[in-house]
Every structure is written in structure tokens, then in C-alpha cells.
Structure 1
Amino acid sequence: MLKRLFYVSALFVCLAPLFVGCGDGGSSDADLKAYVENYAALVYANYQEVETGLKALQKATDELVANPSEATLKAAKDAWLKVRDPYGQTEVYRFYAGPIDDDRGLEGRINPWPIDENFIDYVKDNDKAGIINDTTTYPTIDESALTGANEKGGEKNISLGFHAIEFLLWGQDFSETTPGTRPYTDYVTDGSGTASNQERRGQYLKLVVSILLKDFQDVMKEWTPDTSGNFRDKFVNGDVNEALKKILTGMGKLSNGELAGERMTTPYNEKDQEEEHSCFSDNTRADILNNAMGVQNVYLGKYGSVSGKSLDDLVRAKDATLADKLKSELEATVTAIKAIPNPFDQAIVGDDSADGRKKVKAAIDALKAQAVTIAAVAKLFNITVVTELED
């Protein structure tokens, strides 16, 4: 009897490895947990780079206001463009009620779009427009005034965030080949400056950058490691399947509803630069590219020096063909976006046979295709993902 038990036990030990993970088709809860932890690490690394960029932007805009010149204006613009690259790659962390888009509404203060620029400052046909020039309604330019004004009276009445700063640096864009050309003299306060209320304009610019940095840091602290009770702590130590659903939702909604839909199909159909994402700086193609790269980062489990267990690893353990398909589609999307000619506002005009429009449409189609595959990947894990945006 003991000898028989020994043989049965030995057989179980020999076969046990074959059964590990077999219930979920080749990947284990430990693998999924490792991926969720790596995802949290890459989110934080990405956010750290954005924070560094925002601090550089604050330094550059402070210098512009203190010493306005062609050089300080260019430095401020360069700092804005530089931080937009890593920020664009963070947008895949949206769409699942995480810190960026929970009930506090910080996304609507950090990156609201589109904006009605005449809510902020003068425009071509109205040199008295905007908060900056409305000294009656806004006698003081301070944090309370700017935060209270955001979306007041309409969703395009934007007073905060990246695109408010963009407008204050570039001004309106009327050129087919160049971005906006706001002069540095709009910030000169010695009596020789252009436009009116130069001092208020400088106050506004400094404040809106400061608020952006603070709001972003409020999001970032929820992803700080080793912090009991913050979002990251609950995310990595909670239900790993729920965490995976959030990750896939972010990938799917950014790919389809946000990028292929709001940010690309709408301007493609309207043929209107007012509908493009960064219409003052002509940075729209770079915005779209970095959004797509963010989805790719999450699938491959890599950002900067962070690299670990990936979603590709988990999918490949279940269905190598599907893993190859999504990996290939993500790269094809990046390639298609890179092929769109700059500036984006000129790529969307003309008839549908125009080279620019054909390339924009190809990128839209690529994004839609990868969203379908992301939804198929979700089903491998018995997860249903909706890739359209809710109204």
C-alpha cells in the first residue's frame, strides 16, 4: 500500500508542472500579477518624465515673462513641444476611472480640447476678447479666477491646460505652412509691447503652467510606488483580472474612440484645422504618434529603462498567432502615422484622392484594426472591452 502511494505521489509531482496555468490556457495568475506590476512601473516612469518636462516648461515660461525676447519665446515653445512627447504616451492610462479621469476631473484641467481661444485672449477680429482683456469680469488674474472659469458657459470655454498654454505661446495659426506667430512683444511691459494687457498676459501664462504642474502631480502621486492606499497600491494588490480589464480598456478606447474617432476622423471629415488637436503649434501629428506609441508601450511592457513582463508574453502563451497579429498591427499603426505629411491641418484638406488625406485615412483604418484585435485579446482572458467612447 505504501509503495502504491509512493508511485501515485511521484506521478503527481512529475505531471504537476503540466497543469500549472492550464486552466487559463497557458498563462498563470503569477504572470498576470507580474505584468500588472510592470504596467504600474512604466506608468510611473512615464509620469516622472512628464513631471520633469513640466518643470522645464515652468522655468522657460517664467523666463519669457521676466525677459521677453525672441530667444525666450522660442525656449518656452521648445519646452512645450518637448513635454508633449512623453505626455502623449500617457493617454493610454485613461478611460478606466483612474487618477487622470476620476471624479476630480483632472484630465479636463490638464489636457482639455478643443478650446475656444477667444475665451482666453485676443483673436484676429477682436482685440478685446478673453479673460486677459476682460478686466471687469476678471479684475484679478489669479488661480481662483482661472480654475473657476474653466468650461464656464461651455465645454470649449477652456482656461487651463496644455492647449491654453499652447495658444499663449503661438497664438492663432493662419498659415498653411507654419504654426502661429504670436510675437514675444505681447509680453513686453515697458510700453513698447504689442496688444494690450501684457502684464496680465504674463500673469496668466505663469499661473496656467503652475496649475498644470500641480494638477499633474496630483495624478502622479496616485501612481507613486510603496504608498499605502493610493491608486497604484489598490491596482497592483487587487483583482488582477480587473486590472487587466482597465489596461485593455485604456488601449482600446484610445485606439478607436479617441484617436481614430475624435482626434482623426472628426478633423478628416470637417477638413477644419480648428478640429485638430494642437492647432496653434502644428504639433498634431506628433501628438497622435505619441498616443499610438503609448498603446505599443503598454503591450510590450516597456517605457524608457522599465522593461518586464509584457502583455505580449501573456497573449503569446495563449495564442501566438493573435500575439503576432496585434504586435504587427501596433507597429503598422506607428508607421502609418509617421507617413502623414506635416502639418496635419494641410494633410486633411483637398479631395479624398489627395495624398495627405489618403495617409490620414490609412492611419485611421490602422487604429481601428488594432482596436478590433485588442478586443479579441480581451476575450482570451474572458474580458469584454468596449472601444467606443461613451457620450
Structure 2
Amino acid sequence: MLNKHMLWLPLGVLAAPAFAGTAVTEKAVVEHYATLAHAVYADALATSKTLDGAIQQLLANPTDETLENAKQAWIASRVPYQQSEVFRFGNAIVDDWEGQLNAWPLDEGLIDYVATDYQHEMGNEGATANIIASNAVQVGNQKLDVTKITPELLADLNEIGGSEANVATGYHAIEFLLWGQDLNGTDAGAGERPASDFALGADCTNGHCERRREYIVAASQLLQHDLAWMVDQWAPERSDNYRAELLADSTEQGLRKMLFGMGSLSLGELAGERMKVALEANSTEDEHDCFSDNTHNSHYYNEQGIYNVYTGTYVRTDGSILEGPGIHALVAQKDNVAAAEIQAEFDATRSQVYALKTSAEEHDVFFDQLIASSNAAGNKLVNTTIDSLVKQTVAIERSANLLGISNLNPDTADHEF
């Protein structure tokens, strides 16, 4: 079981500039950024294999205990993956790839049975396809034979009919299969899928258990395959991968990619798509980990990923700490006073996002409850967190200016703050 206090740096770390008194080059910072990426993706791959093992144990013996173990393995697998999202945006190879692993929100009726009053994306024919209960799926002019569920088939089903809500793969497809729908709205409680949904023979509940088993196995295999591919892209001592391409480019462009990724995740994605959209619509469908109510962790580890790149520090899943020169070290060489102010902004934002984690884990008030229209205090907490992320983005832009990195303009995802 994942200890809620594991795998994050103590709040207030790096109160003094890292690598003080040591000359840090831009090249060293970009190289360490690539090393961080490789470590984070390697941890994501390792935890996906642990998750797969827990799924196999669930299928071998579908009980409440093995289902709970699989759920905990899924939650643990999200810790390194969410810290990897800071490598998006600036690195097109990551942004083009990540949808197959982390696309959301999804119309879960594409995958399996749903409640009769299920509200899906308007006009999405795929939302009622129920792959698990079908031999063929037709959405618009697209028709696919789904008799045999394979990783390749699931990849082909993504965005069938042109709808981004048709998500057949990745973490959230597996999450839905483990938890089932969260039918509690903005009240307490997550999904409650019974372990017997994976049982064989007379013990099977809700039908098609054999195909449900095939689906989760295929989704888990594809997740591991995709993560292994990205680990290879960042592997050192290779001349034919993305890491080599990044390091062969100018250090200015490398720093721009780092800062753009940090700023875009902070502003458009985390403050905007993952918090503001859900809050303004009071919509649990727009909650990131909506089936498991793990959203507070996803938010926190996204923020931790930004913090990792800024400080050059990452706590690996085995508890070891990977350290090297980050953006902070370069800023400190330019302006020590400004570096301290910027670091304080990062610390404040990380503490503020951590308050969402505290709300869930210590007060049992989860993100879907915080965004309820009737929860004024919860709405205020989320709004305060959004404001802090906006301020952090300003600090990222200030860092860029101090380092002479122009044309940053972090992605706002068309949100106004």
C-alpha cells in the first residue's frame, strides 16, 4: 500500500540555492533534465509492471483483497507518471505520445456497462458501444471487429468516430475497470465495482467477465509497452533517440523547452484544464482521476514534477534521491536575491497544492466534494490553489527572463486567469 507521505520532497526543501559556490553551465542543466526524465519514466514503467502483477493476482483470485491490492498498485503507478507530465508541451515527442496513456475525461460507456442514467458527451455514438459486451463496434462510418481484445485493437479504438471522449486505453481505462463508475456525484465516495466482475462462471457479475478480464490485461500490456518506448527515448549513451536529439540542439532551446513545459503544465493544464474547468462547471466528469477519487494525488504530483525540474531533484520510487543542477541553480548565478524570491514562490505553490492532498487524506474531503456548488469553502480552496499556480507561472516567466530565454509564452489552454 502506498504511504501517503512517501515519494515527495519535504516542503521547504532548497531554502538556500542549490550548488552554491559551484559554477553551473546551461549544458549541465539540460543534460540533468534529460537524466531526470529517464529516471521518472523508468519509475513509471517499473510501477506499471507492479500494477500488471497485481492485476494478474486479481484475475487468478478475484476477491475484495486482490481488487484492493490492484487499486493500490494503480494509485502507486500514478505517482511517477504524474511527475512526468512536466516533460510534455516543450517536447513534442511526449505530447504526441501521452494521449494513449492519460487521455481524459472519457466516456466509459465505450468500454463497459454503465448506469442507466449515464450522462455522456452529447452526440458521441461511441459512448454506448460497450466493447466488453460486443463483438463489433460501429461509430459513424467506422466499424471494427472487437471479437478478440488486444493491445493493438484498443489503440485503434481511441477517438473512434472523431470524439476525444472515446478513450479505450491508458491509466484511466484501467482505473474505470478497477473502480467502476463513481455514482456519488459531489458527495463522498468513489467507484464500487465488485471483484466478482472479474470472476469466471457462475460467480461472474454484470456479465462478460471473461472479456472484462481480457480487456484489462490488454490495456495493462499496452501501458507497459508505451512506457518502455518512452524510457528508451530518454536513455543515455544512445545516438538515435530523443535524448540525443535534445542534447544536440542549442542549450537555449533546451532551456526554453524546460521552462515552457513547466509553465504550460502550471497554467493551462493544471490550473486550467484540471482545476478551473471542473470548478466552474461543478463537474465530477471533468475531475482527473474521477473513478478512484485520486485527483488530489494527480494534482500534487503534477506540481511536484514542475518542482523537480526547477530544483533538479527527484525522489525515486525506491526512496533514493536524484540530484543535479536545475533552473534554480542557473537563476541563482544570475541574481541570488531573485532566486530566493522565485524559490519561495515555488515552495508556496507546492504547499498550496498539498492542501488539496491534506483535504482528502486528513479530512476526507476529496476534490469532487471541493468543487460542489454548495461547498463555498471547498471552492475557495480550489480557487486559491489556481491563483497560486498562476503566480508560480509568473515566477517561471521571471526565471526565463533572467536567463535570457525569450518567446516563452506558456500555453494557457485558452483560459483566462
Superposition TM-score, scaled by structure 1 size? 0.88
Match of 1:288 in 2: 299
Is residue 2:133 matched to residue 1:133? yes
Match of 1:330 in 2: 346
Is residue 2:123 matched to residue 1:112? no
How much does 1:129 deviate?
5.2
Instruction: Name which of 144, 148, 166 aligns with 1:157.
Output: 166
How much does 1:323 deviate?
1.4
Deviates more, 1:262-271 or 1:307-316: 307-316
C-alpha distance in structure 1 between counterparts of 2:217 and 2:28, whole Å: 41
C-alpha distance in structure 1 between counterparts of 2:35 and 2:322, whole Å: 7
Map 1:158-197; keep pairs closer than 5 Å: 158-175=167-184, 176-197=187-208
How much does 1:321 deviate?
2.8
Match of 1:317 in 2: 333
Is residue 2:151 matched to residue 1:143? yes
How much does 1:229 deviate?
2.2
Is residue 2:57 matched to residue 1:63? yes
Deviations 1:98-125 (A, max 9, x none): 4322xxx321101111111111110011
C-alpha distance in structure 1 between counterparts of 2:301 and 2:79, whole Å: 6
Match of 2:41 in 1: 47
Deviates more, 1:223-232 or 1:258-267: 223-232
Match of 2:247 in 1: 236
Match of 1:362 in 2: 384
Deviates more, 1:257-266 or 1:338-347: 338-347
How much does 1:27 deviate?
10
| SS of equivalent to 1:227 | coil
Give the letter for the 2:105 counterpart: P
How much does 1:334 deviate?
1.6
Match of 1:308 in 2: 324
Instruction: Name which of 338, 355, 363 aligns with 1:339.
Output: 355
C-alpha distance in structure 1 between counterparts of 2:91 and 2:247, whole Å: 15
Give the letter for the 2:75 counterpart: L
C-alpha distance in structure 2 between counterparts of 1:278 and 1:292, whole Å: 16
Deviations 1:281-330 (A, max 9, x none): 00001100000011111111111321122211110111223212221111
C-alpha distance in structure 1 between counterparts of 2:342 and 2:269, whole Å: 19
Instruction: Tell me if the contact between 1:41 and 1:306 (Cα under 8 Å) persists in the aligned partners.
Output: no
Instruction: Tell me if the contact between 1:332 and 1:366 (Cα under 8 Å) persists in the aligned partners.
Output: yes
Instruction: Tell me if the contact between 2:151 and 2:221 (Cα under 8 Å) persists in the aligned partners.
Output: no
How much does 1:163 deviate?
0.3
C-alpha distance in structure 1 between counterparts of 2:234 and 2:289, whole Å: 27
Deviations 1:351-377 (A, max 9, x none): 57x211111111100001111121121
C-alpha distance in structure 2 between counterparts of 1:107 and 1:47, whole Å: 12
Is residue 2:377 matched to residue 1:388? no
How much does 1:350 deviate?
2.8
Give the letter for the 2:223 counterpart: L
C-alpha distance in structure 2 between counterparts of 1:360 and 1:389, whole Å: 18
Match of 1:13 in 2: none
Deviations 1:132-185 (A, max 9, x none): 112233222122321111111210000000000000000011232221000001
Map 1:366-381; keep pairs closer than 5 Å: 366-381=388-403
Deviations 1:262-291 (A, max 9, x none): 000000100011111000000001100000
Instruction: Tell me if the contact between 1:180 and 1:281 (Cα under 8 Å) persists in the aligned partners.
Output: yes
Match of 1:12 in 2: none
- How many residues align? The count is 361
Give the letter for the 2:322 counterpart: V
What stretches of structure 1 of length at least 5 have no aligned partner?
Answer: 1-25
Give the letter for the 2:39 counterpart: A
Deviations 1:329-358 (A, max 9, x none): 111112112223221000011357x21111
Map 1:2-41; keep pairs closer than 5 Å: 31-41=25-35
Q: Quote the RMSD (CA, aligned, Å).
A: 1.9
Give the letter for the 1:143 counterpart: P
Larger Rg: 1
Give the letter for the 1:350 counterpart: S
Is residue 2:90 matched to residue 1:96? yes
Instruction: Tell me if the contact between 1:123 and 1:129 (Cα under 8 Å) persists in the aligned partners.
Output: no
Superposition TM-score, scaled by structure 2 size? 0.83
Instruction: Tell me if the contact between 1:99 and 1:222 (Cα under 8 Å) persists in the aligned partners.
Output: no
Match of 2:141 in 1: none
Instruction: Name which of 199, 220, 224 aligns with 1:209.
Output: 220
C-alpha distance in structure 2 between counterparts of 1:351 and 1:236, whole Å: 51
C-alpha distance in structure 2 between counterparts of 1:192 and 1:162, whole Å: 27
Give the letter for the 1:83 counterpart: S
Distance 1:126 1:269, change over 3 A: closer
Instruction: Tell me if the contact between 2:273 and 2:413 (Cα under 8 Å) persists in the aligned partners.
Output: no
Instruction: Tell me if the contact between 2:269 and 2:413 (Cα under 8 Å) persists in the aligned partners.
Output: no
Deviations 1:23-48 (A, max 9, x none): xxx998x6111111111111111112
